[in-house]
Amino acid sequence: MRRPRSSRPDGACTFAADPGCDSAQCAPIWTDVVDPAVLRTRCCPCAADAPLAFDLHSFDAIVAIATDCQHVRLSLDGDPLRLDIVEGSVLDGAVRLEPAVVLERDVDVQLSAVRRLQALLAGRTLRAHPDKRLSRLVLALRVLDARAEEASVRTIALELLDTTGWPGDGEWMKSWVRRLIWLAERLQRAGPAAVLRHKI
């Protein structure tokens, strides 16, 4: 477990990795400013054998300490669970966690994170629901790269999407590529924060 300190207590992202580490190896801790799945959590000390007690030292975890919060990232099968500890501390032993659901953010995403946390504390693993948007957004990013190389709509369809029969009956394929180009441009304008906030 690592305990770096954050120089951006109210920033969108805190990098808890060694500054000398290759960027591909860094694990950003997205705060609830950006990611609706981050759980704002209070905690208080409890007995180590209390039901659903949480002991940070029992998990693969990174903590970034800010002036008003402890940002916690728990690594779970490559799909992290993130907590913002806004009252109490997880650094000094077993605690009882009390996550709050913030109504101004995506409630379903937060509830899914609460269920994963409950399963974790009960000794089970509950995987996050896959985000069905991501494959389409990745494809849109590839389209964006293709457009930067001045690829035509036809070239994107035939080479990037690996389709045949251009432009398709009723030009459905051409319409599909144009929708992807529109999504790619929107994604470029909105940036990664919009993806994490499910705004795109």
- Are 105 and 32 in contact by the 8 Å Cβ rule? The answer is yes
Whether 33 maps to a domain, the answer reads yes
pLDDT tens digits along 95-137: 999 999 999 888 888 998 999 999 989 888 766 556 667 788 8
Structure tokens at 57: 């030292």
- Are 55 and 48 in contact by the 8 Å Cβ rule? The answer is yes
- Say what percent of the chain tops pLDDT 90: 24
What range does the domain containing 137 cover? 133-196
- Are 82 and 72 in contact by the 8 Å Cβ rule? The answer is yes
Residues 106 and 187 in one domain: no
Per-residue pLDDT at 199: 75
pLDDT bin (cut points 50, 70, 90) of residue 86 is very high
Residue with the bigger pLDDT between 50 and 3: it is 50
Closest C-alpha among 103, 120, 186 to residue 147: 186
Q: Is the pLDDT of residue 13 over 60?
A: no
Q: Say how far apart CA 47 and CA 24 lie, in whole Å.
A: 39
Residue with the bigger pLDDT between 144 and 125: it is 144
- Are 151 and 197 in contact by the 8 Å Cβ rule? The answer is no
pLDDT tens digits along 29-66: 566 667 788 999 999 999 999 999 999 988 888 888 88
pLDDT bin (cut points 50, 70, 90) of residue 15 is very low
Per-residue pLDDT at 28: 59
What is the full DSSP assignment across 99-119?
EE--TTS-HHHHHHHHHHHHH
Check residue 135 and report its DSSP letter.
H
Per-residue pLDDT at 2: 46
pLDDT bin (cut points 50, 70, 90) of residue 171 is confident
Pairing between β-strand 81-87 and β-strand 70-74 as defined by DSSP bridges: antiparallel
Q: Say how far apart CA 45 and CA 157 lie, in whole Å.
A: 58
Residues 106 and 143 in one domain: no
Which residue among 74, 93, 121 closes a domain? Answer: 121
Residues 101 and 45 in one domain: yes
What integer is the mean pLDDT of 139-148?
89
Residues 30 and 117 in one domain: yes
| Residues ≥6 apart with Cβ < 8 Å to 173 | 157, 161, 163, 165, 166, 167
pTM greater than 0.85: no
pLDDT bin (cut points 50, 70, 90) of residue 160 is confident
Other beta carbons less than 10 A from residue 4's beta carbon: 17
Whether 116 maps to a domain, the answer reads yes
- Are 59 and 66 in contact by the 8 Å Cβ rule? The answer is no
Tell me: cis bond preceding 28? Omega within 30 of 0 counts: no
Q: What is the number of domains present in the chain?
A: 2
